[in-house]
Amino acid sequence: MKKIFVVIGTRPEIIKMSPVLPFMEEKFKLEILYTGQHYSKILSEKIFEDLQLKIPKYYLNSKSTNSSTQLGDMIKKISKILVEELPSAVVVHGDTNTTLAGALAANKLNIPVVHIESGARSGNKNEPEELNRILVDQIAFINFPFDANSKHSLLKENIRKNIFLLPNTAREAVKRNIKIAKQKSQILKRYQLEGTKYVLSTLHRATNTNNPTVLKKYILLIEKVSQQYKVLIPMHPRTKKLLKMHDLSLPKNVKVIPPVGYLDFLILMQKAFYIISDSGGVVDESLVLNTPLFIFRNETERDDVISLGKAALVKPSWGKNALFKFIKTKMSDEEIKRMKDIRGSFKILASKKNVTNYI
């Protein structure tokens, strides 16, 4: 039986791999290496347990405020483990520093790299995630894009071998995990949201939070929306710190709560009237949950959801007048109802024909 290593390090990666890991465990000797890029050992173990997944064999404490230092630390530690374990392949997902570190460490040891969610492109090379995607796709022995556009991006970059279309694992994860969330979550009761019409919002992307001009635009957007609807923001500590640093504050009628777990967040998304977020994962999750989404970015690598009409860009580059016009026309009750009524034709994994068939 082949030994396969999965290298992951963030909550979104655990979530997006949750439909794939049980299949891999059936077919291979599966080991999971968790870098700790975002979560501590205790918090990450809880996510694995909540989602009924195999617990990682290795934990690296690779948190760092400096991206370059973090990347170097991860490559060094991952390489040492791979030399000892010598797996047949290393599987990485998405576009984080963990993804790049796992791919580079394996590549330097001549271990084949499998990249899930390959070919996604926002077109903005100022985003660190975009460069990570491009580099890992070039390194990978097998690339798994989620749609025809992503496959086309790989072909345009002269990657022509071992490309296999795979249904979007983030969307399958929602289908799998919403059932668990409904059984376990008490979030609506905790914050007295049952039967309440509310707008859910998150902001975490560095290109947004590190820019005071963009933060001011976000506050302006939330302030306008909160005049009509209750707004709930599970706020990342880093975003909170940056708002304070730039002497910015949200309107008093906006409810800010601490970050919530994945299962609670699924329920919050499902019950929201609509969502405003800069998260890539929320784009896929909101689609499956049929909750209209407004993406607070100038571009997105999830064009298929925009094309379906289930999401729309709210651009930080817009002026005040353009922003207010958008809120009035696109965030109206009628428009939200229209977005909810659209039936998306997206693929969901329906059988065991997945990544395990190609490794």
- Write down the catalytic residue from 93, 115, 204, 246: 204
Query: Is 204 among the residues known to form the active site?
Result: yes
For 248-284, b where at least 16 C-beta lie within 10 A, e where not — what string? eebeeebbeeeebbbbbbbbbbbbbbbbbbbbbbbbb
What is the biggest distance separating any 2 CA atoms in the chain, rounded to whole angstroms?
A: 61
The DSSP 8-state label assigned to residue 309 in this structure reads: T
For 118-153, b where at least 16 C-beta lie within 10 A, e where not — what string? bbbbbeeeebbbbebbbebbebbbbbbbbbebbbeb
Parallel, antiparallel, or unpaired for β 58-59 and 29-34? parallel
Residues 6+ apart with CB under 8 A from 249: 219, 243
Angle at 352 between CA 347 and CA 355, to 5 degrees: 80
How many whole angstroms separate alpha carbon 13 and alpha carbon 8? 6
Phi, psi of 176, deg, nearest 5: -70, -45
Tokens of 340: 């909810």
The DSSP 8-state label assigned to residue 88 in this structure reads: S
How many whole angstroms separate alpha carbon 337 and alpha carbon 42? 41
Catalytic residues: 204
